[in-house]
Amino acid sequence: MAGRINYAELGLQLVAEECRRSLFYFVRTFWDVIINEPPVFNWHIPYLCEELEVLGRSVKAREPKPYDLIINIPPGTTKSTIVTIMFPVWLWVIDPSIQIITNSYSNGLSIEHAIKSKDIINSDKFRMLFPDIYIRRDKSGKQHYANRQGGFRYATSTGATITGFHAHIIINDDPVNPKQAGSEQLRKSANEHIKTLSSRKVDKANTPVVTVMQRLHVDDVSGHQLKTKGETIRHICLPAEVTGNVKPEELRERYVDGLLDPVRLNRTVLAEAKVDLGSVQYAGQYEQSPVADGGNIVKEDWFRRISMSEFTAMRFREPMHFYLDTAYSKKKKNSDNDPSGILAACRIKNNIYLYDAQKVYKDMPDLLRFLPEYAAAHGYDDESILHIEPRANGESVVQMIEEYSTMNVKRTPSPTDEKAVRFKAVSPRIECGRVYIVEGGWNEEFLAEVCSFPNAPHDEYVDILGYAINDLMKDDDDIDWSDFSKSMFGL
């Protein structure tokens, strides 16, 4: 009958219009297309959807971007599903001519996100609601696909070359992973890649960049962008537990019992994460603070304290060993040159005791005279060893000591990993209470440097502490447990 209302068709039109109006409604509508688990829509999900809508409608209107957006949020909060999978498809729903570049730390992850977006577009539900939006057969790859209205999605990864593509919006999801963030070189590469992405814009004034990630380092992509472009960035920071890091500050009121998501990130889950990750990585990934309270890689209260009298009473015959980070210069302290650093330490049972540490600014002859004097004053005997890394002038010092003194000297193996990576590797020894500080006037300077690394102006103490821990604990895996069993149990 002419003029008859098709209620089924009207229903589809209403759902489609509501999807265009609300990204969160779109997310709820298409959740089951890509995720089998029932949704847990904590308050932060509609909030992030509303934030993304602002940028999406600005892109649709081809208006000057209001800002770039950085979202710092813990893992397990549906961030990639919302920002990198659902949001790009929704952009096509409101304007199928939008061109999108997405980026992640690995090519495989970036393509996986693009495929899930593609699964939504190819789903029966999407084809019923938006029949005019579909992927062209001649441009339907996993990494790059396009629709017939001029829009495309191109998925790339940190460090990859991007040529021939310019976007109306760029989405940067986890540009580095935790391991990469520990490498200065890879952090710099990720920060440089942002510049490359920023050059792939249809209109530099109109194209926003959305970065969503957990914090991994003070100079990760978020930290670098906030430091260099802070005034042009809207920063949303949602730690797992309410802290002073919450941004915007008014969002603190939405936390329930101090928790961002009391269902998926409850206190039991967070406690397990802290054990699995350690306090430093937990501070970055869950608290969105890559500098842990009380220290960076290590905290001051991780070191145990012991008085000189207690140490002297318990030491007995354990040999004192010495660890040297060499430099020599006639310039005075507080100059731009590095000093030489030396640490006296020994192992008693299963713990390490730091007896003394000093820094000196000395040229070669003075340094060679200083070393045996220092060693003799701090417990050197025939079983002691002076460890020196034979890099640069260190090799010269080793050769001179071998030729002109009777000290036991050993070349410390030259490291292959970056300093921060090496220090993180030994930090669990300190955190679990295996490293003692013998109380003395040297403590304050030593702890200030070690606990502020990697932000300290000098790092000699960091080097020699790492050498000492690795050397004094190196034989832990060589214990003859059969002898132990015989002595303890008569086996």
Is-contact 377 385, C-beta < 8 A?
no
Whole-prediction pTM value?
0.64
Q: What whole-number distance in Å separates Cα of residue 433 and Cα of residue 421?
A: 20
Is-contact 103 242, C-beta < 8 A?
no
Return phi, psi of residue 379, to 5°: 95, 15
Is-contact 460 339, C-beta < 8 A?
yes
Q: What whole-number distance in Å separates Cα of residue 258 and Cα of residue 261?
A: 9
With residue 229 as reference, give the H or E element that holds it.
helix 221-229
The yes-or-no verdict on residue 79 having pLDDT over 80 is yes
Is-contact 121 132, C-beta < 8 A?
no
pLDDT in tens, 358-368: 999 888 889 99
What residues have CB less than 8 Å from 89, skipping those under 6 apart?
26, 30, 117, 120, 121, 126
Of 220, 219, 216, 254, residue with least CA distance to 238: 254
What is the band of 479 on the pLDDT scale with cuts at 50, 70, 90? very low
Mean predicted lDDT score pLDDT of the chain: 88
Residue 241 tokens, joined: 């537990």
Side chain identity, residue 437: I
Report how far apart the first and last C-alpha atoms of the chain are (Å, whole number): 96
pLDDT in tens, 175-211: 998 888 878 788 888 888 888 888 888 898 899 999 9
Of 279, 300, 289, residue with least CA distance to 450: 300
Q: Give Cα 281 distance to the centre of its chain.
A: 7
DSSP string for 74-128? -SSSSHHIIIIIIHHHHHHHH-TT-EEEEEESSHHHHHHHHHHHHHHHTSHHHHH
Residue 450 tokens, joined: 């070690």
- The tally of CA atoms less than 13 A away on the side-chain side of residue 177 is 8
**pLDDT confidence of residue 52:** 98
Side chain identity, residue 490: G
Q: What whole-number distance in Å separates Cα of residue 118 and Cα of residue 99?
A: 15
Mean pLDDT of all residues in 204-226: 90
The yes-or-no verdict on residue 484 having pLDDT over 60 is no
pLDDT in tens, 131-140: 999 999 999 9
The yes-or-no verdict on residue 292 having pLDDT over 80 is no
